[in-house]
């Protein structure tokens, strides 16, 4: 990074920075990206994990945003189907005894979902329909049946947000971008009043260097005001962070095959109950946030409110704090507008260019990262005085190429026999890593020990740690447990039972990489 002058340097390794890096590198630019902690350690690993149009935004008449997001849902399902999997969603409607999440007006609801289907166009993944109580209880057997009149069923997609970021970062690196985690922007360098580089500090080593670039993009989400002030000390605050929490519960008690929308206690919004990686994810909230940005946490009263909201609709799920497996808290980088509450603020993205030429991209959603990146890179091309070229990211398959369901089904027994692994392990690898699962399977040949599970009750094996250290820049045990896999969220001990083993394997992976490239 110190040796050349890049066309573009990006600050921030969340989904926005990752998307910009991939788009720019695949249009032929010379790109560098720095992330102050780990990739996806900010908001992009703390979302509700939906690749969705956003039903709620229809109420705010944000039809353009919904249409764009629904199209992106289709694109992502094509380039990374394992990271955008269709899921049924239920909006239950009750009689007067119990509020319904989107109001009791069935006609308004149907109209909204009709519009949702219409905006999805020919790439829709399934049309909405009305379900009778007995049909609902097949999909969500523990949902309160008293007073249940029916439910509207519609479809959206589910992802693993952190893995999506990692795969986009890897695709950017394959396209030629140079990427670094644990490298923070501490200052901006200017030449003739224009931003021409970044003062970088390696946060795990303390070394400092200058990264030079013709254009610098600030893709730091809720930190973007902070970074913009490195360019202009008197810059106005543009952001209004809003906190959203999630609670991860055991699947027992829910056993849902569909996500369910329920009203949120004390907020004018609804909560999603989502079956995710063998657990149930409940969230989210939306509250103004003024605390430190680096480590937001779910407060006990927020957790209780989420559990109480869910317990009204799942009374037999035994929703007490003792059964909570883990929680997450994330900060939405919303663009400030006078007099509006955070839930009324638009989820649209906004590109801001400072007088000194720093391009900041704020707002937006995980779902629309590709389009956000396209808008940024179009502007970067203009600034560089180059022809825009065509955005190619809709054609770039992620994760070493798509594996279809049929391929997974056909190939997994054969692979299991070839690599002496249980079929479930092979299925898990194929599902998590798509085409790259072949690389992990090859790693298992290096030692029988690498075939063994890391932690009881979860399908992960030791070879995944080696893969994460060699190919995914996992630097710490937490990088592996919290973002390369989601063990920290899924396991009651947050992975502490395998910390020593993961640490050793990461260390070995790095030693090996150092031996192979001594420079
Ligand atoms: P971030 O992911 O926060 O990335 C910014 C990065 O910049 C961070 O990793 C940070 O460490 C780094 N950084 C900061 N300062 C520096 C510096 N000085 N030097 C180097 N690096 C720096 N969207 C959806 O589409 N679907 C959903 O279901 C959904 N659910 C959500 C639920 C919640 C509770 C929240 C909060 C958001 C949700 N979103 C959802 C929105 C989505 O998660 C965000 O819009 C998106 O993740 C923002 O990505 P980002 O890259 O802009 O920010």
* pLDDT, tens digit (0-9, with 9 covering 90-100), for 306-320: 999 999 999 999 899
Percent of the chain with pLDDT over 90: 78
- Ligand 1 mean position, distance from CA 44 (Å): 4
Q: Does residue 243 carry a pLDDT above 80? A: yes
User: How many other CB atoms are found less than 10 A from the CB of residue 519?
Assistant: 3
The predicted structure's pLDDT at residue 238? 81
Q: Does residue 519 carry a pLDDT above 60? A: no
> What string of DSSP letters covers 339-374?
T--TTTS---EEEEE-TT--EEEEE--STTHHHHHH
The predicted structure's pLDDT at residue 104? 56
Structure tokens belonging to residue 393: 């990211």
- The SS3 assignment for 155 reads strand
Mean pLDDT, the chain, whole residue set: 92
> Residues 367, 50: contact at Cβ < 8 Å?
yes
Residue pLDDT, tens place only, 163-220: 999 999 999 999 999 999 999 999 999 999 999 999 999 999 889 999 999 999 999 9
502 pLDDT tier (thresholds 50, 70, 90): very high
Ligand 1 pocket, residue 243 CB under 6 Å:
no
Contacts of residue 164, Cβ cutoff 8 Å, sequence gap at least 6 = 15, 44, 80, 83, 366, 398
Q: Does residue 348 carry a pLDDT above 90? A: no
Angle, CA 165 vertex, CA 161 and CA 170 arms, to 5°: 145
Tell me, letter by letter, the H, E, C secondary structure of 326-342: EEEEEEEEEECCCCCCC
Ligand 1 pocket, residue 175 CB under 6 Å:
no
> Residues 391, 374: contact at Cβ < 8 Å?
yes
- Ligand 1 mean position, distance from CA 14 (Å): 6
Angle, CA 236 vertex, CA 234 and CA 241 arms, to 5°: 130
Q: Does residue 486 carry a pLDDT above 80? A: yes
Ligand 1 pocket, residue 43 CB under 6 Å:
yes
Percent of the chain with pLDDT over 70: 96
Q: Does residue 94 carry a pLDDT above 60? A: yes
341 pLDDT tier (thresholds 50, 70, 90): low
* Ligand 1, atom 5: closest residue by C-alpha: 220
Q: Does residue 344 carry a pLDDT above 80? A: no
- The SS3 assignment for 243 reads strand
The predicted structure's pLDDT at residue 99? 73
Give the rounded distance of the alpha carbon of 375 from its chain centre: 20
- The SS3 assignment for 192 reads coil
User: How many other CB atoms are found less than 10 A from the CB of residue 273?
Assistant: 26
- Ligand 1 mean position, distance from CA 445 (Å): 37
- Ligand 1 mean position, distance from CA 42 (Å): 5
Among candidates 253, 311, 252, 258, which has minimal Cα distance to 131?
Answer: 258
Strands 148-158 and 85-94: antiparallel
The predicted structure's pLDDT at residue 60? 75
Q: Looking at 103-117, 136-150, 241-255, 376-390, which range is the least confident one?
A: 103-117
Structure tokens belonging to residue 298: 């779910």
Average pLDDT of span 284-293? 92
Structure tokens belonging to residue 254: 């829910």
Helix residue spans in 219-323 (DSSP H) = 224-231, 300-313
- Which one of 33, 36, 39, 47 would you pick to mutate in the ligand 1 pocket, going by the greatest count of ligand atoms within 8 A of its CB? 47
Average pLDDT of span 42-56? 93
Q: Does residue 100 carry a pLDDT above 90? A: no
The predicted structure's pLDDT at residue 123? 86
The predicted structure's pLDDT at residue 340? 67
Average pLDDT of span 385-394? 94
Give the rounded distance of the alpha carbon of 46 from its chain centre: 7
Cα(263)–Cα(269) distance, integer angstroms: 6
The predicted structure's pLDDT at residue 232? 87
Q: Which residue has the tokens 């590198």?
A: 25
Write the CA distances from 214 to 201, 227, 317, 326, 425, integer angstroms: 20, 17, 56, 43, 46
Structure tokens belonging to residue 288: 């103004």
Query: Dmax of the chain from CA atoms?
Result: 71
Q: Does residue 487 carry a pLDDT above 70? A: yes
Buried b (16+ CB within 10 A) or exposed e, 458-477: bbbbbbbbbbbbbbbbbbbb
Burial class (CB in 10 A: 0-12, 13-18, 19+), 320: exposed
The predicted structure's pLDDT at residue 301? 94
């Amino acid at each position: 990074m110190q040796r050349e002058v890049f066309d573009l340097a990006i600050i921030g390794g969340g989904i926005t920075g990752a998307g910009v890096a991939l788009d720019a590198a695949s249009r032929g630019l010379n790109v560098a990206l720095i992330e102050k902690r780990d990739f996806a350690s900010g908001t992009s690993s703390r979302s509700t994990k939906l690749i969705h149009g956003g039903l709620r935004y229809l109420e705010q008449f944000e039809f353009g945003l919904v249409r764009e997001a629904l199209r992106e849902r289709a694109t992502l399902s094509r380039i990374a189907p394992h990271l955008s999997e269709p899921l049924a969603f239920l909006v239950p409607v009750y009689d007067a005894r119990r509020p319904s999440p989107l109001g009791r007006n069935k006609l308004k609801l149907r109209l909204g979902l009709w519009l949702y289907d219409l905006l999805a166009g020919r790439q829709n993944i399934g049309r909405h329909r009305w379900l009778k109580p007995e049909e609902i209880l097949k999909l969500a057997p523990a949902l309160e049946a008293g007073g249940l009149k029916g439910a509207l069923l519609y479809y959206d997609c589910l992802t693993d947000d952190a893995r999506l970021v990692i795969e986009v970062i890897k695709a950017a690196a394959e396209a030629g971008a140079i990427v670094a985690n644990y490298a923070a922007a501490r200052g901006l360098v200017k030449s003739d009043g224009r931003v021409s580089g970044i003062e970088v500090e390696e946060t795990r080593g303390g070394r400092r260097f200058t990264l030079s670039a013709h254009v610098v993009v600030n893709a730091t989400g809720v930190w973007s005001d902070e970074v913009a002030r490195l360019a202009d000390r008197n810059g106005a605050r543009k952001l209004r962070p809003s906190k959203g929490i999630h609670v991860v519960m055991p699947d027992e008690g829910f056993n849902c095959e569909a996500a369910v929308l329920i009203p949120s206690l004390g907020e004018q919004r609804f909560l999603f109950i989502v079956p995710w990686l063998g657990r149930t994810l409940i969230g989210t909230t939306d509250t103004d946030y003024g605390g430190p940005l680096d480590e937001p946490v779910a407060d006990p009263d927020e957790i209780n409110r989420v559990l109480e909201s869910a317990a009204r609709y799942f009374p037999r799920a035994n929703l007490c704090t003792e059964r909570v497996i883990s929680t997450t808290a994330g900060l939405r980088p919303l663009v400030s507008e006078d007099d509006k509450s955070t839930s009324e603020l638009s989820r649209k993205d906004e590109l801001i260019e400072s007088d000194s030429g720093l391009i900041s991209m704020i707002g937006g959603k995980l779902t629309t990262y590709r389009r956000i990146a396209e808008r940024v890179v179009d502007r970067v091309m203009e600034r560089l005085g180059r022809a825009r070229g065509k955005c190619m990211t809709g054609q770039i398959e992620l994760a070493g190429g798509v594996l279809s369901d049929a391929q997974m089904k056909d190939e997994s027994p054969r692979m299991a026999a070839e690599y002496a692994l249980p079929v479930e392990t092979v299925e898990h690898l194929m599902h998590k890593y798509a085409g790259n699962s072949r690389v992990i399977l090859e790693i298992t040949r290096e030692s029988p020990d690498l075939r063994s599970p890391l932690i009881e009750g979860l399908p992960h094996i030791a070879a995944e740690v080696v893969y994460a250290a060699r190919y995914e820049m996992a630097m710490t045990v937490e990088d592996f447990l919290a973002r390369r896999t989601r063990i920290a969220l899924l396991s009651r001990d947050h992975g502490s039972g395998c910390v020593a083993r993961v640490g050793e394997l990461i260390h070995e992976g790095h030693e090996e990489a150092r031996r192979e490239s001594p420079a």
